[in-house]
Amino acid sequence: MLLEAAHALALFGQHLLLGVIMATGFVCIYSLITPHKELELIRSGNAAAAVGLVGATIGFALPLSLVLSVTADPVHAGFWGIVVLLTQILAHLLVRLVVPRLAKDINEGKMSAGIVQAGAGLVIGMISAAALTP
Look up the pTM and report it. 0.91
pLDDT of residue 36: 87
Cβ-in-10-Å burial (0-12, 13-18, 19+) of 10 comes to: exposed
CB 64 within 8 A of CB 22: yes
pLDDT tens digits, residue range 6-35?
A: 988 998 999 999 999 999 999 999 999 999
CB 30 within 8 A of CB 53: yes
DSSP string, 6-18: HHHHHHHHHHHHH
What is the torsion angle, in degrees rounded to the nearest 10, for the CA atoms of residue 117, residue 121, residue 122 and residue 127?
A: 140
